[in-house]
Structure 1
Amino acid sequence: MKNENPNENSNKNINDILKKEKLQKTTPAINDLKKFQNEKLDEYFDKIEPSKEKFEEQTEEFEKVHIDEEEKPQTKDTKKEKIKKEITKVKKEEAKQTNNIKSKKDLYKYNNQTKPKLAIIIDDVSSNRQKQAILDIGYDVTMAFLPPQKGHSQSAKIAQDLPVHMIHFPMQASPKFKSKEKITLTINDSYAKIEGIVKKLRQQYPKAKYTNNHTGSVFTQNDDAMDKLFRALKKYNFVFVDSRTTAKSVAKKYAKKYGMPYIVRNTFLDNERNFEYIQNQLKKAIKIARKRGYAIAIGHPYSMTIKVLKESKHLLKGIEPIFINKLPYL
């Protein structure tokens, strides 16, 4: 058993009493200190924290200064770069919008229950000899005639007895292209001039419905020019077929605007005039037709192109050659 020391207990009690008295005296002082600190902190934050209104004013001022900086006179090169960027931005947006346009062609669903259709167009037709060679191919091929001009003044008359024919409409190409037709639409032509030319084509080709562009890589990517053209084509009951001589063509946009079907070629047959190349291009068109239900191929009245088409009938097994007006989505 442990012995208790009375003196030790007495000292402990005295110490407890002293601690309690000290704590009672210091606690109010600590509380006062905390209160003082909080008051000072409030004063400090009142000074350094702007009000919401002041903050908004400062923000507006910053934006104004920022804008002013942008609007300061720039060097010629800087302005040019800025304009280029803006043009590129607009073109990308326009391309995006064009890609989002849905036409009957886009909505067409091939059900595999009918034969795939292949529409072959032969451009630049202008003589009886060419016409007869194409008829001798032995299946439906659509001929696109150059409008009457010097060198082929009878082209419209030659077309009249054909059940389906097109007008191969000359349009502005790259400056690199030198063999320009005399009457060629340019991006600087007024609507009155374009409308006058289209009106004359209607008189020359009273039974024609379809027209496609001869060259036209510059013209068909120009919004203002294509708007004028489609307006005139609509007035005289023509439908535009996009030869797509440039990937930047805006034909789809204006076909939609003027309520026309959007028709565009899938392959060129004869960029090279040798048998193997042309036949391989024909095979590509047939492959597209089997997949989508239709395809459009464009060639020219070259003797080699005619030869390939005549000697490739075996490739068309299960494929129906058609005139352009028989496309399944029209």
Structure 2
Amino acid sequence: MASANKPKQTVSGILIVLALLPQVAEADNRHQRPLATISIIIDDMGNALHDGRRAIALPGQITYSFLPHTPYSRELAQLARRNHKEIMLHVPMQSIDGEHPLGHGALTLDMNEQEFKRALQEDLDALPHIVGINNHMGSLLTQRSGQMNWVMQVLGQRRLLFVDSRTSPLSVAAQIAGEHNIPRLGRDIFLDNKPTLEAITDQFYTLVKTARAKGRAVAIGHPHPATIEALRYYLPVIDALGVELINVSAMAESRSTPVWQMSSSPSPKAAKN
């Protein structure tokens, strides 16, 4: 089935380039502006070895975020580092609906400060060489300033950055990170809430347009087969679109996110909250 879709997806990639090239040329002729920048995080890494390997084989400076204490997190993280890719920790945090298992190492509201920080420290110790964390689910916890202060205190001690996955429009995580002078970013686009090639193509198009409008944009995707296939086709042509793929730490160093700006793809209402 994948091979049957390849010509169609190649055409889609070309159409994206053709649709955006006039905008790129106009901007370059006016101001000779530098390329807009995008960062792509592939999270939920560590449970699936085959899909994880395929994701790490993608070209360019993608950042990979690993769930703690998962069967293949260390093996895949080592592979990513050998391929000169950046790695993060995808920390499970309590969600509003509570319907989806958080997994080992989750941070929840019923923990006191000592328990909470110990759990986070153990998560961080489980995966060496990370540059920072982003939240897995967390639509409830990221609304709580007390718990977010605890998170940022630990990150500050370890000199790690924070990416708000923005699973809730009421998240205070970026604001609290700023108060602690933690390098921080916020997710603009979810690439694969709907994990089909057509939907991911649309989201990639939105990612490029968002970056060109704002100067930068952050996308989060997952090691789904459709996501990997789509990125295999689109990443090699991003320079022609007037955007540059950089890793998360480079973007965080260049500019911290405002306290809140509306995301171009809404917070998910189901499995990823």
Give the shorter-chain TM-score range.
0.7 to 0.9
Code of the residue aligned with 2:216 in structure 1: it is Y
| RMSD (Å), alpha carbons | 1.9
Name the structure 2 match of 1:329: 255
Alpha-carbon separation, structure 1, partners of 2:136 and 2:75: 19
- Structure 2 contact 107–120 (Cα < 8 Å) conserved: no
Alpha-carbon separation, structure 2, partners of 1:112 and 1:196: 50
Structure with the largest fraction of helix: 1
* Counterpart among 63, 66, 73 of residue 155 in structure 1: 73
* Counterpart among 51, 56, 61 of residue 135 in structure 1: 56
Question: How far 1:314 moved relative to its partner?
Answer: 6.1
Name the structure 2 match of 1:222: 144
Q: 1:197 to 1:157 in 2, by over 3 A?
A: farther
- Structure 1 contact 160–207 (Cα < 8 Å) conserved: no
Q: 1:181 to 1:308 in 2, by over 3 A?
A: same
- Trace 1:305-320 onto structure 2 (pairs within 5 A): 305-313=227-235, 316=238, 317=240, 318-320=242-244
Alpha-carbon separation, structure 2, partners of 1:225 and 1:115: 37
Structure 1 runs of 4+ with >3 Å offset: none
Deviation sequence 1:199-219 (CA, Å, 0-9, x none)? 223322231121000000000
TM-score, structure 2 length as denominator? 0.74
- Trace 1:298-309 onto structure 2 (pairs within 5 A): 298-309=220-231
* Counterpart among 23, 40, 46 of residue 120 in structure 1: 40
Mapped pair 1:292 → 2:205: no
- Trace 1:57-206 onto structure 2 (pairs within 5 A): 113-126=33-46, 127-148=48-69, 152-161=70-79, 162=81, 163=84, 164-206=86-128
* Counterpart among 186, 192, 217 of residue 270 in structure 1: 192
- SS of 1:160's equivalent? helix
Alpha-carbon separation, structure 2, partners of 1:198 and 1:236: 12
Question: How far 1:112 moved relative to its partner?
Answer: 6.0
- SS of 2:200's equivalent? helix
Alpha-carbon separation, structure 2, partners of 1:313 and 1:200: 35
Code of the residue aligned with 2:119 in structure 1: it is I
Alpha-carbon separation, structure 1, partners of 2:59 and 2:72: 24
Q: How many residues align?
A: 217
Gaps of 5+ in 2: 1-30, 257-273
Deviation sequence 1:173-225 (CA, Å, 0-9, x none)? 12253232133111221121122123223322231121000000000001121
Name the structure 1 match of 2:156: 234
Residues 170-179 or 244-253, more deviating? 170-179
Alpha-carbon separation, structure 2, partners of 1:121 and 1:112: 28
Name the structure 1 match of 2:176: 254
Q: 1:208 to 1:175 in 2, by over 3 A?
A: same
Alpha-carbon separation, structure 2, partners of 1:153 and 1:142: 19
Code of the residue aligned with 1:175 in structure 2: it is D
- SS of 2:128's equivalent? coil
TM-score, structure 1 length as denominator? 0.62
Alpha-carbon separation, structure 1, partners of 2:53 and 2:211: 27
Residues 241-250 or 229-238, more deviating? 229-238
Question: How far 1:315 moved relative to its partner?
Answer: 5.2
Deviation sequence 1:2-37 (CA, Å, 0-9, x none)? xxxxxxxxxxxxxxxxxxxxxxxxxxxxxxxxxxxx
